[in-house]
Structure 1
């Protein structure tokens, strides 16, 4: 008889520390007037108020959540990442009720946020996904870490797309449209597209890159000499199989990496390293199951580096 090794418990980012990004401001949504429609190429269009959404029940989805960064600087690392326990309902539940027509190929997601961006007025924030991907992956969330969504995080309902950059997770969701083509919107076909390594044509910014971030010690920290615990989190579209840590440009040393959790969550890594008094540079570099390795520089997922001061060095 063999025993099962328990999966690691996910660690969640406090809500006050979860990053906030918005292109068109935070809309003032009155939930008493709010509705979500499912329309377009469907047999049974839907209109749901919040009571109807809540009546669908609530599942939980622990998942990491990463910001892609500015569409004007697609190769600049942002390091904005969090892990959240979402609560809500899979999009597939609503699609099953609406019944997509045979011609439907894409799903558009539109938020309540409106305004001006990059010299263009009258915009709404919209993203789109292929129908099969949306049916499989999209989650409609109304809670974060056990609390109702805050206004800045998409109250009262938002889309969440695990393993995709946050730009695809439309906040303040009001409309879901099934269509036979992609949405023509500033945030779908004009911005948030990039040319991946080895490709020649731009594709939509969707799946995350392999990445990692040092959480401890923090950049600029002062720590005691001796064995210093170096730790952080790594994530990708698939399992992280290795994380290397380099000190002061030295060789990559293998950190211990947690096994993947039950959902699309990040993985902890840690290494205890003797550090002499004085300044040090520490970097981390992740490799995923697909063989992707973080680049050293020149990319948005380039290796993360922190500078620390170990106590006991000569005064500067």
Structure 2
């Protein structure tokens, strides 16, 4: 059985080390000209500049943030993950002001990034979520790790959807539309859909998979032989209840796992292990509260492995 220890304060990824993804480039936005529109099936359409957004107050959200990877290679691991402290306001604060109509079922998020992608021209990046999900989970962030959003991370305002892949967290947000149907844009109908295990038809790429990644030692590390601490982070859409580590294809050994924090944060795990001189392969796999376990191979969340040398 995996041992759990109390959760420490969240450890955040330095902004310089947070991955950057863009489908159609980084738009050049002058915040003095920028506005956010909330419209569609609402009783009170809104148009807010940044001063109006800031007047809503500022809350903080600590959350892991994971890239799904290429929509053309949904089973290839990318392991691009970070933990960020966002500052902003829950989307619910804007929806309460706009007052969704009874017919509203979905929320569309539109970014300022436009252009061509995969041979198609004239595109705008639009994603959608069911209204109950959007009202309960979406956070609108204007700061990241204590500083204003950088251009590459969504300046001046972006959506953050905890426990969902980053493709749902629309950057450079300019428009929120409430509708009675899903968006018919290519980023909802063609890209970022997958067939989940046990299902016959594709569904939107939303909820993250159970995953873990070894942070220390890293790939190719040279270590002193003897006792070595093997550690990393594990995350899922729900609580991580166990992490195991295997060295050189040997038996899986239970690691010590931090208890979950108060928010959607990753969980640290570690195992102290004797390493004899020579080359070693170290693997980790996580299990979550829903009973999901990382597969050994053939999936985007397959177990992570690093090669190290003890001397």
Give the shorter-chain TM-score range.
over 0.9
- Using the TM superposition, give the Cα deviation of residue 113 of structure 1 relative to its aligned residue in structure 2, in angstroms: 0.4
Change (3 A) 1:299 1:248: same
- Using the TM superposition, give the Cα deviation of residue 287 of structure 1 relative to its aligned residue in structure 2, in angstroms: 0.3
Q: The residue matched to 2:37 in structure 1 has which SS?
A: strand
The question of whether the paired residues in 1 share the 8 Å contact of 2:103 and 2:180 is answered with: yes
Q: Distance in 2 between matches of 1:185 and 1:234?
A: 33
Q: What pairs with 1:169-188 in structure 2 (closer than 5 Å)? A: 169-188=169-188
TM-score by length of 1: 0.96
Q: What pairs with 1:179-258 in structure 2 (closer than 5 Å)? A: 179-258=179-258
- Using the TM superposition, give the Cα deviation of residue 189 of structure 1 relative to its aligned residue in structure 2, in angstroms: 1.1
Q: Distance in 1 between matches of 2:129 and 2:231?
A: 35
Change (3 A) 1:7 1:233: closer
Q: Distance in 1 between matches of 2:103 and 2:12?
A: 40
For 1:142, the equivalent position in structure 2 comes to 142
TM-score by length of 2: 0.98
For 1:263, the equivalent position in structure 2 comes to 263
The question of whether the paired residues in 2 share the 8 Å contact of 1:8 and 1:260 is answered with: no
Q: What pairs with 1:1-316 in structure 2 (closer than 5 Å)? A: 7-311=7-311
Looking at both structures, which has the greater relative contact order when contacts are Cα pairs under 8 Å and sequence separation is at least 6? 2
Q: The residue matched to 1:30 in structure 2 has which SS?
A: coil
- Name the Cα RMSD after superposition: 0.8
The question of whether the paired residues in 1 share the 8 Å contact of 2:239 and 2:288 is answered with: yes
Q: Distance in 2 between matches of 1:9 and 1:251?
A: 32
Q: The residue matched to 1:257 in structure 2 has which SS?
A: strand
Moved over 6 A (4+): none
Q: The residue matched to 1:299 in structure 2 has which SS?
A: coil
Structure 2 spans left out of the alignment, 5+ residues: none
Structure 1 spans left out of the alignment, 5+ residues: 312-316
